Structure 1
Amino acid sequence: MKYKEGFKRFHVLTLISVASFILIFFLGYFFYNTLSNNLLGSSRQFLGKQVEIASNEVQRRFNTLYEDLTYYTTSLEGNSRIMPGENFKMQSSRTRQLLNSYGALVDTLYVKVDDEMWAYYLRDNNYFERVNVDPQRSFSDPNRLIVVKSHKESITVMASVNLLGFMNYYTSNHYLGKGGYKFYFRGNDVIPLGETEKATGVSLSSNTKSEIKNEYLGGLRGVYEGTIVKKNSAGEEQELKAIVAQYPFNLFPLEGKYAIVFAQDQSIIISKLYNTYFLLFAGLFALLILVIYLLIRHGISIDDKHVELEKKSRQINRLFDQQTMLLQETNGFVYYHDSSGKVSHVSDNVSNVLGFSVEEFLANNKSQIVEKDLKRLQEKAQNAIGNREDYLGFEVSFIKKDGTIIRTKNFERLFYNEEGSFVNSVGICTDITEKYLAERELIKSENRLRAVLNSLPDIIFIYNNQGVYLDYYVQENSMLVDPPEDSLGKQIKDIIPSPYGEKMENALYRASRSGKVQTEQMTLDLPSGKKFLEIRFFKLDDERMISVGRDVTEQRLWEKGLKEAKEVAEGANRAKSEFLASMSHEIRTPMNGLLGMIGLLEYTTLDDEQESIVKVIKDSGESLLSIIKDILDYSKIEEGKLELELSSSKFREELSKVINIFSGMVVGKGLTLNLDISPAIPQWLIMDNEKLSQILFNIIGNAVKFTPKGGEVSIKVSGEPILDKNFMLYFIVKDTGVGIPQSKIDKLINPFTQTGRGIAEEKSGSGLGLAIANKLIELMGGSLQIESEVGKGSEFSFTIFARISDSDEIVGQDEYEKYASEEHKLSNIADQYPMSILLAEDNDINLKFMKLLMKQLGYTVDTVSTGEEAVRAVRVKKYDMVFMDYQMPVMDGLEASREIKKMKQGKDVRIIGLSANVFKEDIDKAFEAGMDDYLTKPIKIQDVVMKIKESSGMNV
């Protein structure tokens, strides 16, 4: 009774101790988690603010450099010939001051005046040096150059910047502490800074790089839970969780986007908290252990004697209980043999295993064993006793009382007297029926697998891990070099001819080491012909490997045929693209004359009605040109060469031009055309106006064409600002036309597809319009949706992205409004900008148009029809400007431009290329050949005027 009371007290103390442990652990966890989260949150704010300050400092300093370079260039005007004397001293002082101010950023300052160039250095000892350099010098990394050109004189100032040193200098002031790392992004590159640059093996993980890149290229700042990859002293890479903050910025005028990245190892951030917290927790835990220990010791000392007595008693009982539990768990029983071999005793568990009572089992135990197992058991027992073996193990099948048969595993300990005679034995019988049946099923499964392998058409071999043949399953010997039975016991390289033998053996070793499937191919010249075989090696188990070989001759031949067909198709596609480009060139040439003459007609004296007619003709001609572009644009889309050409324009005026094109069709069919533009849309937007017009022309044109007389077409335009100056435009074009069947809506955006709606005369068209419009919408960042119901009309909706234009960003087509003002009338252009002009053009129509245009502008131009004549003309006479056709007989415009730029008097000549070729590669070739600018046909009058102004030295 006293023991029970003592045990009860001990049990209560144990429960209290466990509850105390759990409570302390939970309180400690929540307290630690709260502190660590607060510390990490503060670190995120700190890193985000530090990287923002550093990025703003870098961008502000770089902008200041560009402004100072611009001022420095302006200061050179009027003193372009830097001669010894006061001018040289004054200029050197300015240059030294500039280099001193930007020593961490500017490596070298280059000043080019006409055909001379000087380089200025500031050495480590503050020694200022000026060196003459080759004016034709090329720079290994043009992306590191800031170039500023004078507007009035031929002066160019170039500053070679050291971006890495610059970034290091301005980020070194931001101390991140231990575990802090600094990087900066430039395009797709990540460059370590400061101590991070010196610490080898430190980088951002690929996932963190990708996440930062996606956001900073879009102009978004961010703070992330990222990872840092760091090599330890053994050269092994380990990933560390870190807080990573980035802030994007631009370095005008350098191209590309940049971002500074600060990272802090999370483990170091919370290490101090961990150390402090761990000491506090350990102290409380030790105190708790001491109190519990004293309580337990007090309880144990009271009942020590009672516990000891009870303990011995319970150990005895537990021993018997454990034996019974063991037999119950293993579903077995214990039995004893006497010297005659008869079972003399058996445990009560026999009834649970066989269903017999103890008495029934002792009386008939031999009859309960299956006869064939009994005979085998008796022979085995006699041999064991005859050999004086101490142990006997066997398996037999027992017939239970209910008639079912079970499998048992028996183990007996045999005892002998001093003379060596058998005395008795004790044994344990365990039911293993489930295991026995499972093993039998496994054998059957292996036999079935062997049958399947024997029936497979593949060539199957089994090896050991050293590549020695152990077994095979081969249906057709004609696919083998030698009969399969000859390979057993040999190495792979002894059977398969070189070099494939070594190749296959290496594949087997790789599969054995890595545990992954290894695939190799080989070609064999067999009596049945040349065969291509694909061999796969993989593990069968820890000691064996297997290979499966398959004849892939037909597949290889099919792949070869498919490759040849693909090459033929690609050749046909290239031929089609070349044809489309050639046709575009041939059509653009007469269109240049047509639209050019219309442009000249605009500047003649016309009444209001004539001006309206000329405007419609001009807009229709330009729309016709855009239709012609459809074919070329689709060719560009197929090749992935289509690019956006952004310019600033008045959005509502551009939209009105597109609407006016359909005025004749709308009036002729008696349609109602409604236009609703949201007042939230800014007046000036930056986008590719030409491609937007092309999209609207196709979609609105379809709506007008397929709407019957008296119907209605409505156009609704709305929008909203998105992130800084980005603006999303939303267009809805709805008509009351015949509608489109639902089954054909998805096919509308496929090329050369028509829905067959409307009357016969309304089915004309190439079927490219919506396909191109859909691609252009995707190029401009949006998507096209089509909803329609037969008999009720259709609704086309799409979104595109633009940018809100500042007043000083108004460029491109809007410049024409300046030329239309009084001070820029065409009649006085030559008076304001006098120059000598040469025109090289072989097409009579274009030649006539350009001569009329130049005459109206007030210029008397010299004309030639070949590139050779253009080169001779420049040798004889000094020209300020040459309009050079791209394609001419004898010598084309590219070769002529190269020859002119080689001449001393040709270096100052500004060459403007004229061509119907609009591919980017053609334009790039023109600039590489020495052309200073490029105009695509049809040529607009205002574009010619703008190029004349630019050539005169004005900054427009």
Structure 2
Amino acid sequence: MNKQVESASNEVKRRFNTLKEDLIFYKTNLESGLGKEGRINEARIRKLLNSYIYLIDTLYVKNQGEMLGYTIRNNNYFEVIPIDQWPDFKDKGRHLLISSGDKKVELAVSLQLSHFINYFSNNYYLGETGYKFFVEGDQIHQISSDRDEGGMFVAPEMAAQVKKDVQEGVKGDYSGEIRAIDGKQKESILAQYPFNLYPLQQDFALIFALDKSPVFTKIYTTYFYLFLGLFGLLLFIIFLMIKYFRNMSQKNQELESKTGEINLLFGQQTMLLQETNGFVYYHNQKGMVSNVSDNLKDVLGYSKEEFIENNKSYIVPEDLRRLQKMAQNALVNKEDCLSYEISFIKKNGEVIRTKNFEKLFYDEKGVFTGSVGICTDINEKYLAEQELIKSENRLRLVLNSLPDVIFIYDHQGFYKDFYVQDETLFVQKPSEILGKSVMEVIPSPMNEDFMDALKKAVKTNMLQTRQIEMEGSNGKKCFEVRFFKLDEERVISIGREVTGQKLWEKGLQEAKEMAEIANKAKSDFLANMSHEIRTPMNGLLGMIHLLEDTQLDTQQEEYIKVIKDSGESLLSIIKDILDYSKIEAGKLELNLSSIQFKREINRAINIFSGMVAKKNIKINLSLSPEIPECLIIDKEKLNQILFNIVGNAIKFTPNGGRISISIKGEHIMEDSLMINFSISDNGVGIPVSKIDQLIHPFTQVGNGTETEKNGAGLGLAITHKLVELMGGSLNVSSEEGKGSEFYFAIFATISEKEKVGLDSTIESNLSALYDMDYLAGQFPLDILLVEDNEINLQFMRLLMKHLGYQPEIALNGVEALEKVKEREFDLILMDYQMPLMNGPEATKAIRKLENGKSVKIIGLSANVFKEEIEKAMLTGMDDYLAKPVKIQDLIDKIKESFDYIKKA
């Protein structure tokens, strides 16, 4: 008893200290997480309460001014208690306080010590005459138990001695009275062990008590019966020894003759149990397992001791209830054998099915004396049987619910069964053909084709399909019949009427051919439109790049930058409009690159500076500091999204209005985040009934002036698709006459530049990267320029002159071919679409010439479709530049060409 009270006291103290350590750890996490989490993490609170459900009544948390209480009710309901003012917690004996130095983070726990101490003390059993108490300060409380004997308390004279020892921190043993409220007294022996629950100021101790009289009575009775038992055992042993020696010689002879048989029998039994994966077990007269064979561990994984102690808990509950009812009936009916199947839970958690057979034994009076049983693992067989049952049920359910015509035959083609929903499809009823052969029922020559399909299905185990036309009660019907082998005796056919389908197939084929022709015409139109639009854009943006490299004042540089950004945005819009067919087909792809995010946002908004100034609109931009400087994202698609949404906001916002743009970041993983955009205005708004129409192509709401209605109605449809492509979704909320809000989220990755610190270099213009006037001196090349458009030709000539080159000019593929025949070139810049001979044709012809085998050919085209680029590369081109050609891209290609020639 002394050992038990000491163990119980130490367990209570250890568990309380663990709570204190967990509270200090959680307080430290809150302090270190300020500014990151932003609020109290309720998941961690829930976990803390569940871990100490018997000790914590209520947990109070204060974090940066946020105050909440948390508790778990009896029904395991997690409740949050709002707190207007932080409690005083004056009762230091019932509350545990943990706080930071600056009091910004505080934790307080309202303790339920009685419940806590009761829970851990009840784990120690003292018998039917035992009682438990605990000391808290100068109070001694009884610990409740399953026995209902009324309130018990320690006699005052003994209680005084106990309290004194507890205050001095001394454990003790006592002998005295324990009294009940009804006046009954019990002479008892007590064991006390003190402990403290720092920082609680009270003294604590556990007291275990036992009645004296039953204890000593049991001791004397035990010794008396032990003596009698030993004496009787001695007499019995003497009797056995006499009888043993009398029969020794006779039994030795019988034993020698039987030993071989017994050893053989036991060997065979062991081998049988091992082969069948089973074990033997024994029940005593009380129905409890008394012994089990060594094979148990191989079957279930438990030791003998574990199985004998807890075998009922290893049986699946529903099977245990069924087994107990069966055993009860067997004993009532005095049955000799009991056979059943149950599911056991193995030690590794796996559930297996077993087959059990038990032999029941009774005495002369018919009283059950025990049983021996064999348990065999039949899990594999059971699973196979269950799967077979499920398979048959599934097949039957499918056959009964299918609208198709289903027949079952034997392997010789005789009808065995059928599942037909509509018997009017046939002239002869299906029930009348059972037992007949396919050759009799199906008219010739289709019967031979049917029989051939059936035999192939049996021989190859592969599906066979046939088409058949049959006369039914409603006229001629067309069926598509599939044959497959059902099992080793049966074949099944599933027939579906396809009369209507056959009638439509021809029309559908014609419609498909017309659609393919229309789609090709559409692709050709888009390719030509791309070329026609991008060709003048090449000259426009090319001249802007050249103008940007001239001497300009500050205001002119700003104007040129706005024109340049606007042109590139227009080019992006044109690209997305021409690629809308790709968006519909889901073929649009992200082009990820590392960008300085905040600068790119400012640049995108600055495009609208002219429109904003004209309408006197105020734009408020809010960028969350949590967003890193450098992100990996598709810059062009981000600009296109902002161009459409911000452009619409400016368009439909009245003069003197306001637009708010809020951008926040939400970290998902270490290197990833979601960027949340919110763009709101106080414009004309959108009717609620028309908000859902905005994301459909070529749709306009029509709120605004006539000049504000211009456009293809494609912008938000493209924006919606681009946002989804970038991992988010576009949402709109609006109130007519008050304004609209567009909010969306896109996925981004933190750039490596952000991790190591931003590059200290700043952007330089082209003259800083290369000495453009002497580029030809640094990378001397003999260049042939093939271009038929006068605007692009003029731009390329000026650009080449600016770079220090004097290229040879060819106005079409025929001229290019002649010039390559006359002399060798290092680099050919080849336009794609030209009269007489286009770029791909000219490239093929040049590659066949001696002077054209090693020359580097770079294609120039306004067609940006991936398929066209791949076709151009297959003709022999080495590289590809899309119009409008950027000066930097051209310089890079010139340098690469020089390095290529130098290596060659």
TM-score (norm 1): 0.48
Residue in structure 2 matching 1:791, options 719, 726, 737: 737
What is the Cα deviation at residue 632 of structure 1?
0.8
Aligned to 1:874: 820
2:650 is the alignment partner of 1:628: no
Alignment-mate amino acid for residue 605 of structure 1: Q
Is 2:426–2:471's contact at 8 Å kept on the other side of the alignment? Answer: no
Over 3 Å counting, the alpha-carbon distance change for 1:537 and 1:948 in structure 2 is closer
Alignment RMSD:
5.0
2:642 is the alignment partner of 1:706: no
Is 2:296–2:303's contact at 8 Å kept on the other side of the alignment? Answer: no
Alignment-mate amino acid for residue 869 of structure 1: E
Aligned to 2:255: none
Cα separation, 2, equivalents of 1:277 and 1:537: 45
Is 2:482–2:493's contact at 8 Å kept on the other side of the alignment? Answer: yes
Over 3 Å counting, the alpha-carbon distance change for 1:823 and 1:629 in structure 2 is closer
Is 2:627–2:664's contact at 8 Å kept on the other side of the alignment? Answer: yes
Cα separation, 1, equivalents of 2:715 and 2:638: 13
Over 3 Å counting, the alpha-carbon distance change for 1:517 and 1:684 in structure 2 is closer
1:392-424 Cα deviation digits (max 9, x unpaired)? xxxxxxxxxxxxxxxxxxxxxxxxxxxxxxxxx
Aligned to 1:750: 696
2:798 is the alignment partner of 1:776: no
In structure 2, stretches of 5+ residues that fail to align are 1-294, 312-361, 368-399
Over 3 Å counting, the alpha-carbon distance change for 1:826 and 1:817 in structure 2 is farther
Over 3 Å counting, the alpha-carbon distance change for 1:484 and 1:692 in structure 2 is closer
Over 3 Å counting, the alpha-carbon distance change for 1:277 and 1:651 in structure 2 is same
Aligned to 1:522: 468
Cα separation, 2, equivalents of 1:598 and 1:683: 29
What is the Cα deviation at residue 523 of structure 1?
2.4
What is the Cα deviation at residue 790 of structure 1?
1.9
1:464-520 Cα deviation digits (max 9, x unpaired)? 886546899999999768899996763112331456435655888999999999996
Cα separation, 2, equivalents of 1:734 and 1:539: 66
Alignment-mate amino acid for residue 281 of structure 1: S
Residue in structure 2 matching 1:851, options 787, 791, 797: 797
What SS does the corresponding residue of 1:734 show, helix, strand or coil? strand
Cα separation, 2, equivalents of 1:605 and 1:567: 59
2:561 is the alignment partner of 1:610: no
Residue in structure 1 matching 2:879, options 922, 930, 933: 933
Is 2:619–2:660's contact at 8 Å kept on the other side of the alignment? Answer: yes
Is 1:731–1:799's contact at 8 Å kept on the other side of the alignment? Answer: yes
Over 3 Å counting, the alpha-carbon distance change for 1:904 and 1:569 in structure 2 is closer
Aligned to 2:664: 718
Is 1:819–1:825's contact at 8 Å kept on the other side of the alignment? Answer: no
Percent identity between matched residues is 57
Is 1:816–1:942's contact at 8 Å kept on the other side of the alignment? Answer: no
2:838 is the alignment partner of 1:892: yes
2:303 is the alignment partner of 1:281: yes
Alignment-mate amino acid for residue 936 of structure 1: A
Aligned to 2:595: 649
Alignment of 1:479-558 (within 5 A): 490-497=436-443, 500-501=446-447, 504=450, 521-524=467-470, 531-533=477-479, 552-558=498-504
Aligned to 1:948: 894
Residue in structure 1 matching 2:868, options 918, 922, 939: 922
Residue in structure 2 matching 1:590, options 536, 548, 552: 536
What is the Cα deviation at residue 838 of structure 1?
1.4
Cα separation, 2, equivalents of 1:621 and 1:915: 18
Aligned to 2:708: 762
Alignment-mate amino acid for residue 494 of structure 1: E
Cα separation, 2, equivalents of 1:876 and 1:276: 90
Over 3 Å counting, the alpha-carbon distance change for 1:949 and 1:495 in structure 2 is same
What is the Cα deviation at residue 927 of structure 1?
2.5
What SS does the corresponding residue of 1:748 show, helix, strand or coil? helix
What is the Cα deviation at residue 672 of structure 1?
0.8
Cα separation, 2, equivalents of 1:907 and 1:809: 46
Is 2:631–2:749's contact at 8 Å kept on the other side of the alignment? Answer: yes
Alignment-mate amino acid for residue 831 of structure 1: G
Is 1:881–1:909's contact at 8 Å kept on the other side of the alignment? Answer: yes
1:176-229 Cα deviation digits (max 9, x unpaired)? xxxxxxxxxxxxxxxxxxxxxxxxxxxxxxxxxxxxxxxxxxxxxxxxxxxxxx
Cα separation, 1, equivalents of 2:404 and 2:752: 72
Cα separation, 1, equivalents of 2:364 and 2:431: 75
What is the Cα deviation at residue 716 of structure 1?
1.7
Aligned to 2:782: 836
Over 3 Å counting, the alpha-carbon distance change for 1:472 and 1:711 in structure 2 is closer
Over 3 Å counting, the alpha-carbon distance change for 1:633 and 1:286 in structure 2 is closer
Alignment of 1:811-826 (within 5 A): 817-820=763-766, 822=768, 824-826=770-772
TM-score (norm 2): 0.50
Over 3 Å counting, the alpha-carbon distance change for 1:543 and 1:720 in structure 2 is closer
Cα separation, 2, equivalents of 1:836 and 1:518: 67
Residue in structure 2 matching 1:883, options 784, 806, 829: 829
Cα separation, 1, equivalents of 2:588 and 2:671: 25
2:750 is the alignment partner of 1:804: yes
What is the Cα deviation at residue 840 of structure 1?
0.8
Cα separation, 2, equivalents of 1:808 and 1:714: 28
Cα separation, 2, equivalents of 1:535 and 1:870: 63
Is 2:479–2:495's contact at 8 Å kept on the other side of the alignment? Answer: yes
Is 1:630–1:768's contact at 8 Å kept on the other side of the alignment? Answer: no
What is the Cα deviation at residue 697 of structure 1?
0.7
What SS does the corresponding residue of 1:953 show, helix, strand or coil? helix
Alignment-mate amino acid for residue 716 of structure 1: S
What is the Cα deviation at residue 549 of structure 1?
6.8
Is 1:819–1:942's contact at 8 Å kept on the other side of the alignment? Answer: no
Alignment-mate amino acid for residue 829 of structure 1: L
2:544 is the alignment partner of 1:619: no
What SS does the corresponding residue of 1:757 show, helix, strand or coil? coil
What is the Cα deviation at residue 669 of structure 1?
1.4
What SS does the corresponding residue of 1:657 show, helix, strand or coil? helix
1:899-918 Cα deviation digits (max 9, x unpaired)? 44455544543322100111
Is 2:628–2:754's contact at 8 Å kept on the other side of the alignment? Answer: no
Higher relative contact order (CA 8 A, sep 6+): 1
Cα separation, 2, equivalents of 1:274 and 1:904: 86
Over 3 Å counting, the alpha-carbon distance change for 1:909 and 1:477 in structure 2 is closer
Alignment-mate amino acid for residue 822 of structure 1: A
Over 3 Å counting, the alpha-carbon distance change for 1:547 and 1:757 in structure 2 is same
Over 3 Å counting, the alpha-carbon distance change for 1:766 and 1:809 in structure 2 is farther
Alignment-mate amino acid for residue 568 of structure 1: M
Over 3 Å counting, the alpha-carbon distance change for 1:670 and 1:511 in structure 2 is same
- Count residues in correspondence: 524
Alignment of 1:466-477 (within 5 A): 467-468=413-414
Cα separation, 1, equivalents of 2:404 and 2:304: 66
Cα separation, 1, equivalents of 2:790 and 2:569: 24
What SS does the corresponding residue of 1:576 show, helix, strand or coil? helix
Cα separation, 1, equivalents of 2:667 and 2:745: 13
Alignment-mate amino acid for residue 695 of structure 1: I
What is the Cα deviation at residue 308 of structure 1?
6.4
Alignment of 1:285-304 (within 5 A): none
Alignment of 1:235-246 (within 5 A): none
What SS does the corresponding residue of 2:579 show, helix, strand or coil? helix
What is the Cα deviation at residue 827 of structure 1?
2.8
What is the Cα deviation at residue 278 of structure 1?
7.5
Is 1:633–1:772's contact at 8 Å kept on the other side of the alignment? Answer: no
Residue in structure 2 matching 1:827, options 773, 779, 785: 773
